[in-house]
């Protein structure tokens, strides 16, 4: 485990959390990139302190939106766990929670949608849960956020392009799990259907 200082430096360097750009209503945007969040290297305590010291003070004064990019998140690498999510949410000051207008959840996986539908109401308040807007494609994000003012990593654009050829993922009719999508082709119709619905 890294020291507290090293963990904070890592969060700074990776820019997992960055206040950048504005939405179409002129509100500041907190951009969060899930794939680069070092969940196995940063403790919940250090993350909470980092947010309290470096992010939340900049969000206390006026309404803001959050863009959470879920593209490429793997439970084994980037996901902090349910208890950690609850702890992080509980540590958000009330005035910051009140100023949050929308959470644009970019590229939500089927698993993430199911998780939020089942546990989201238990972990987060009803007010927060109601602010979540699922955004399946970047083109729909630009309806809400000023495109030229927010940096989006290249892998997000690549995933977006890949999804154009797999529209059934948006409706939960095809798995979005990377192991299923990249699995070798099989001749059996049974195998194809059984793999298609693995989530």
Q: What is the pLDDT of residue 180?
A: 45
Q: What is the mean pLDDT of the segment spanning 87-93?
A: 86
pLDDT in tens, 105-143: 999 988 888 888 888 777 777 678 889 999 999 999 999
φ and ψ of 20, to 5 deg:
-155, 130
3-state helix/strand/coil string of 120-170: HHHHCCHHHHCCEEEECCHHHHCCCECHHHCCCCHHHHHHHHHHCCCHHHH
- Cα–Cα distance measured from residue 85 to residue 69, given in angstroms and rounded to the nearest whole number: 16
- Token pair 């970019």 in the structure block, residue: 106
- Ranking 1-5, 75-79, 91-95, 142-146 by mean pLDDT, the lowest is 75-79
Q: What is the pLDDT of residue 37?
A: 93
Q: What is the pLDDT of residue 176?
A: 54
Longest dimension (CA), the chain: 59
Instruction: Decide: 89 and 124 in contact? Cβ < 8 Å.
Output: yes
Q: What is the pLDDT of residue 134?
A: 93
Q: 13: helix, coil or strand?
A: helix
What the chain holds in terms of domains, given with CATH numbers, is 4-154 (3.40.525.10)
Cβ neighbour number for residue 58 with a 10 Å cutoff: 13
């Amino acid at each position: 485990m890294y020291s507290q200082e090293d963990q904070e430096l890592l969060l700074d360097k990776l820019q997992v959390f960055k206040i950048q750009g504005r939405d179409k209503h002129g509100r500041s945007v907190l951009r969060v990139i899930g794939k680069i969040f070092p969940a196995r290297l940063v403790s919940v305590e250090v993350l909470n302190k980092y947010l309290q010291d470096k992010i939340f003070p900049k969000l206390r004064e006026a309404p803001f939106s959050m863009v959470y990019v879920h593209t490429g998140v793997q439970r084994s690498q980037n996901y902090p766990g349910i208890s950690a999510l609850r702890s992080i949410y509980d540590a958000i000051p009330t005035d910051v929670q009140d100023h949050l207008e929308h959470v644009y959840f970019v590229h939500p996986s089927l698993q993430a949608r199911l998780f939020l539908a089942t546990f989201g109401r238990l972990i987060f308040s009803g007010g927060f849960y109601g602010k979540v807007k699922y955004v399946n494609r970047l083109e729909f994000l630009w309806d809400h956020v000023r495109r030229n003012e927010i940096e989006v990593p290249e892998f997000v654009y690549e995933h977006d392009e890949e999804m154009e050829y797999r529209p059934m993922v948006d409706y939960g009719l095809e798995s979005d799990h990377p192991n299923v999508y990249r699995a070798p082709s099989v001749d059996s119709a049974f195998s194809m259907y059984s793999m298609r619905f693995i989530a």
